[in-house]
Amino acid sequence: GAVVSQHPSRVICKSGTSVKIECRSLDFQATTMFWYRQFPKQSLMLMATSNEGSKATYEQGVEKDKFLINHASLTLSTLTVTSAHPEDSSFYICSARELWGGGTDTQYFGPGTRLTVL
């Protein structure tokens, strides 16, 4: 099946610094990638939809200037948490949708990135 990777898997940073998380589709091209956030023992909340070559679409309540998303190629999307604070600590998960889905709407999920802001 299709594989999506995330890097890093874990990151610890100091408050006020910025952190970049990469999401890659390894064996397929993805025009669309999604970024989710998951709090402990809770469900996934969609943060934004990332489209290759265009600006990301953010969900209501998500600060676009704080969570910068870049989808520079068909296999890579990045999420940068700017000026991170402890409340940004969370598990961030990306997913990717194949370019030629043939009508399928299956998403392939990355393994997630655990961000801890001290």
Query: Could you say whether residue 104 binds other proteins (CB under 8 A)?
Result: yes
Q: CB nearer to other proteins: give 44 or 76.
A: 44
Residues of span 47-76 touching other proteins by CB under 8 A: 49
B/e letters for 42-64, b = 16+ CB within 10 Å, e = fewer, are eebeebbbbbbeeebebeeebee
Query: Cβ closer to other proteins: 14 or 60?
Result: 60
Name the H helices within the chain. none
* Under 8 Å between Cβ of 110 and 5: yes
Q: What are the phi and psi torsion angles at 25 (to 5°)?
A: -90, 120
Decide: is 89 part of the binding site for other proteins (CB under 8 A): no
Locus of tokens 């961030």: 92
Closer CB to other proteins, 45 or 68, in the complex: 45
Q: Which stretch binds other proteins (CB under 8 A): 13-21, 71-79, 80-88, 97-105?
A: 97-105
Residue 22 within binding range of other proteins, rule CB under 8 A:
no
11 lies in the site for other proteins, by CB under 8 A: no
Question: Using an 8 Å Cβ cutoff, are 112 and 5 in contact?
Answer: no
Give the interface with other proteins as residue ranges (CB under 8 A).
6, 32, 34, 41-44, 46, 49, 93, 95, 97, 101, 103-112, 114
